[in-house]
Amino acid sequence: MLKFSKIILMTILLSITTQAKDYTKQKNTQAFINMMVQRYHFKRSYLNGLFKDIKFQRKALAIFNPAYRKKPKKGAKIRHYPKHGSWDRYEKILLGETRVKKGVEYMHKHRKIFKKVYEKYGVEPEYITAIIGVESYYGHNRGKFPVLDVLTTLAFEKNRRMKYFQYELKHFLLLSKREKFNPKNVKGSYAGAIGLGQFMPSTYKSFAVDFNRDGKRSMQTTADAIAGIANYFKKHGWEKGGHVAVRVSYKGNRFNAKKTGYKHKYSRVHLKGIVPKYGKWIYNKKVRLIKLDRYKYDELWYGAKNFFVITRYNHSSYYAMAIHQLAQRIKKAYRKKYGSY
């Protein structure tokens, strides 16, 4: 569940061979080990063994500490993006025809699982498919970073989110103990997210499910991943068959009349002059105003409760809109090819 701007940033970071580092020599690591031993009854020798041989993850650290980023060569051209058009660029990367086509294939291949999950959780298959499509490209890109090494580097090297990554490292070790796997054998994202839906370790305990009943809760397994995402949505208030978003019209080309984004809610009676662009939209609850910055104008949408639920997966209005639009394109293409699911 990672912000897409950081994914783009990964493409410009320095490529460097990781080096082994003994983190047991650091005071903050020893304090962490003491806590895990006293509170969660880990063996000190086991933790010392894990942290004694960690491969330092410079590329991951560069995301959260600018000092580790590659400096441009002298005279190198630095790409500057125009003031407007952030949604056009975002859309081009995430909503291409290939991603839609693969989404249709993925949803059809696993249609029996999707049906069972929908019956239990009430989350439409196209939205779960879209999450998997964006997070891991339908399982083809689950991440190549060793999760233990990444979380250890980010937990104990200076960066703006050290406390958060110590929290995730704790939950990753607890997860490995609970699910009985070797933490050194797990690969994931540059921030430690794991599996088809890129769950952070702390997310597993509350939301991961053993849907295939093999005795394990694994986001690496298709059935568990699909059900885990559905469970996440349901527990955050997803309304079965409910509205997600609708495009609206307004006067002018740039919208600055009201605060926009998923954090701000409005009663529609107070949004005079802002109306659904294509016909009626029967929804009586409060809405969010979602602004998408295009090169020549602002595109404006109403976001319903289900739109907000998607932002709980990733706290970004752009991310949630990409999921919504990808889901709708997958649904339309699926029905055209296979009929109703």
- Quick one: residue 257, left, alpha or beta (phi over 0 = left, psi -120 to 50 = alpha)? alpha
Please give the Cα distance from 250 to 255 (Å, whole number).
8
Q: Is residue 156 part of a domain?
A: yes
- pLDDT, one tens digit per residue, over 122-141 is 999 999 999 999 999 999 99
- pLDDT, one tens digit per residue, over 318-337 is 999 999 999 999 999 999 99
Catalytic center residues: 135
pLDDT at 326 (0 to 100): 98
Give the number of other Cβ atoms within 10 Å of residue 178's Cβ: 13
Please give the Cα distance from 31 to 210 (Å, whole number).
34
Q: What is the pTM of this model?
A: 0.90
pLDDT at 52 (0 to 100): 96
| Average pLDDT of the chain, as a whole number | 92
Residue 276 scores a pLDDT above 50? yes
pLDDT at 114 (0 to 100): 98
- Per DSSP, the residues of 145-158 read EEHHHHHHHHHHS-
277 Cβ neighbours under 8 A, 6+ residues apart:
246, 247, 248, 249
Beta bridge mates, 287: 266
Cα dihedral across residues 309, 312, 313, 317: positive or negative: positive
Q: Is residue 44 part of a domain?
A: yes
Residue 189 scores a pLDDT above 80? yes
Q: Is residue 173 part of a domain?
A: yes
Average pLDDT over residues 67-96: 84
pLDDT at 4 (0 to 100): 44
DSSP state letter for 257:
S
- pLDDT, one tens digit per residue, over 204-246 is 999 999 999 999 999 999 999 999 999 999 999 999 999 999 9
Least confident window among 2-16, 113-127, 143-157: 2-16
Query: Phi/psi at 261 (nearest 5 deg)?
Result: 115, 165
Q: Choose among 38, 66, 34: nearest CA to 51.
A: 34
Helices 222-235 and 125-136: angle between axes, nearest 10 degrees: 110
Average pLDDT over residues 253-265: 96
11 pLDDT band (50/70/90 cuts)? very low
Please give the Cα distance from 337 to 72 (Å, whole number).
48
Query: Phi/psi at 290 (nearest 5 deg)?
Result: -110, 120
pLDDT at 104 (0 to 100): 98
18 pLDDT band (50/70/90 cuts)? low
Q: Is residue 40 part of a domain?
A: yes
pLDDT at 279 (0 to 100): 83
Residues 287 and 304: beta-carbon distance below 8 Å: yes
Residue 95 scores a pLDDT above 60? yes
Please give the Cα distance from 174 to 113 (Å, whole number).
28
Residue 75 scores a pLDDT above 70? no
Q: Residue 289 is encoded by which pair of tokens?
A: 């105003």
- pLDDT, one tens digit per residue, over 168-186 is 999 999 999 999 999 999 9
HEC per residue, 297-338: CEEEEEECHHHHHHHHHCCCHHHHHHHHHHHHHHHHHHHHHH
Please give the Cα distance from 140 to 198 (Å, whole number).
12
Q: Is residue 267 part of a domain?
A: no
pLDDT at 178 (0 to 100): 94
pLDDT at 82 (0 to 100): 84
| CATH classification of the domain holding 31 | 1.10.8.350
Residues 201 and 226: beta-carbon distance below 8 Å: no
Q: Between residues 17 and 207, which one has the greater pLDDT?
A: 207
pLDDT at 280 (0 to 100): 87
Q: Is residue 236 part of a domain?
A: no
Report in angstroms the alpha-carbon separations of 125 from 90, 230, 241, 334: 23, 9, 11, 11
Q: Is residue 186 part of a domain?
A: yes
Give the H/E segment covering residue 98. Answer: helix 97-109
Q: Among residues of the chain, what percentage have pLDDT more than 90?
A: 87
Q: Is residue 255 part of a domain?
A: no
- pLDDT, one tens digit per residue, over 49-62 is 999 999 999 999 99
Please give the Cα distance from 149 to 20 (Å, whole number).
10
Query: Number of structural domains, the chain?
Result: 1
Domain range holding 30?
4-72+143-193
